[in-house]
Amino acid sequence: MATSGGETVTVFKDLGLVAQVFDEPALAGLEGHLGIGHTRYSTTGSTTWANAQPAHRQIGATSVALGHNGNLTNTAELAEALGISAATTDSDLMAEGIAREVNDERSDSRGLEMAVMKVAPTWEGAFSVVLMDQGHIVGIRDPHGFRPLCMGSLPDGGTVLASETAALDLVGARFVREISAGEMVVIDASGVHSYYPFADVNPGLCLFEFVYFARPDSQMYGRSIHGARHAMGRALAEEHPIEADIVVPVPESGIPAAQGYSAASGIRYSDGLVKNRYVGRTFIEPDQMLRDQGIRLKLNPIVENLEGQRVVLVDDSIVRGSTTKQLVRMVRDAGATEVHLRVSSPPYRWPCFYGMDTSDRSTLIAASMDVAEIREHLDADTLGYLSLDALLEATGVADAGFCNACLSGDYPTTIPSSADKFQLERS
């Protein structure tokens, strides 16, 4: 987190879960009426203290802190243009570029916003960013709006920016509106001001926000994420019906789709797997060995619900396949007589360069196997994926503009020639 009371920007960051990093003494040192915070999901650079966010730069009298959700696709070009090799993440380069551009001499104190207006159009790829200096908060979304960003207001009149509306609920803020794709908002003592620094705007929110990333109690494009996932499950039951005894979700993100599948098929919904609430999502652990171990720490079967049952197992996606294979095994070992796997998104075939840590195509199971081969590999009795048309329909906002590159190979931007997440560290 970074905070300011108007004079200086104080930054406190570390590796670990939020509750581990921010104990009472750490929080007591973060004073002020302005603040930003970010929990980083590593898609560029390794997991080190220096790469934890907010990124911070002090140049002259200007102190800039920046939190970045997404992934730039022109990091190598930006590093070269700035003539630096010390930065190890795209977000570091963003902070560096802005700090250099801030003109401390401006008499109207609009230095930060003018710098962002000038520098942000040089960034390519995905970025929903919050940044601050001593007197301003700026929020900005790339011209496709790959990653979400919304605005709320506090009961005392304060303004909040957040990735998801669920975060507004947590601090008692009222949802005001989404920041539009390509929009920049500046919050300072005079209020909230909106700007559009990009020449071409073409909305393309990440479709996986609806499938997996976002919390079910959030809203995007005005649509409930839970409602959309329920609709995906109903559509999945229509596209891939099967005779079975129970529908079992892979908790937590598979739950609404399993409820939808059960409602549409009439097959009883049952909890067959229990999530350990004290272990993070396995997908975000960056190392394959940790992921393999993670599933056993993360989920446990309820044997009395699964024993002797023909199970429809509903998950939101299959990316690498290693987790799913262990899940099918776990359900069979618990006594299920049949396991019918249903997935509420299409095969994930193409790498993502916009903030999901799947830039290596060789790790994607659907990149090298067709559906029949995947079924056999996972040892499921049947396997059914939701079609892309049905998925878009289930969002309820199919025409709002989505990126679906990982499902279709249809990328909305130029993609980088090198997808190496450690490219800056090696240069």
For residue 125, give Cα distances in angstroms to 71, 204, 227, 331, 401. Answer: 6, 11, 29, 40, 16
Q: Does 366 bind ligand SF4 (CB under 6 A)?
A: no
CB of 122 to ligand SF4, least distance (A): 21
Nearer to ligand SF4, 1 or 343 (CB): 343
Burial label for 271, CB within 10 Å (0-12, 13-18, 19+), is middle
CB of 18 to ligand SF4, least distance (A): 24
CB of 96 to ligand SF4, least distance (A): 25
Nearer to ligand SF4, 4 or 404 (CB): 404
Site string for ligand SF4, 128-147 (x = CB under 6 A): ------------------x-
Sign of CA dihedral 236, 242, 246, 248: negative
Nearest Cα neighbor of 237 from 228, 227, 247 is 247
Nearer to ligand SF4, 186 or 232 (CB): 232
- Token pair of 210 as six digits: 């609806």
Nearer to ligand SF4, 33 or 361 (CB): 361
Question: In degrees rounded to 5, what are phi and psi of residue 189?
Answer: -60, -25
User: Which residues ranging from 185 to 224 are in contact with ligand SF4 (CB under 6 A)?
Assistant: 206-208
Nearest Cα neighbor of 11 from 21, 20, 29 is 29
What gap in Å lies between CA 235 and CA 240, rounded to an integer? 8
Nearest Cα neighbor of 65 from 120, 12, 144 is 12
What gap in Å lies between CA 164 and CA 73, rounded to an integer? 23
Cβ proximity of 117 and 184 under 8 Å: yes
CB of 120 to ligand SF4, least distance (A): 19
Nearer to ligand SF4, 11 or 356 (CB): 356
CB of 306 to ligand SF4, least distance (A): 31
CB of 354 to ligand SF4, least distance (A): 4
User: Which residues ranging from 386 to 415 are in contact with ligand SF4 (CB under 6 A)?
Assistant: 403-406
What gap in Å lies between CA 175 and CA 153, rounded to an integer? 7
Separation of first and last alpha carbons in the chain: 29
Q: How many of the chain's residues bind ligand SF4 (CB under 6 A)? A: 11
Nearer to ligand SF4, 275 or 349 (CB): 349
What gap in Å lies between CA 319 and CA 165, rounded to an integer? 26
Q: Does 232 bind ligand SF4 (CB under 6 A)?
A: no
CB of 355 to ligand SF4, least distance (A): 6
Question: Quick one: which segment of 169-177, 246-254, 312-320, 348-356 binds ligand SF4 (CB under 6 A)?
Answer: 348-356
What gap in Å lies between CA 349 and CA 42, rounded to an integer? 21
What gap in Å lies between CA 244 and CA 340, rounded to an integer? 8
Q: Does 319 bind ligand SF4 (CB under 6 A)?
A: no
Contact residues for ligand SF4 (CB under 6 A)?
A: 146, 206-208, 352, 354, 356, 403-406
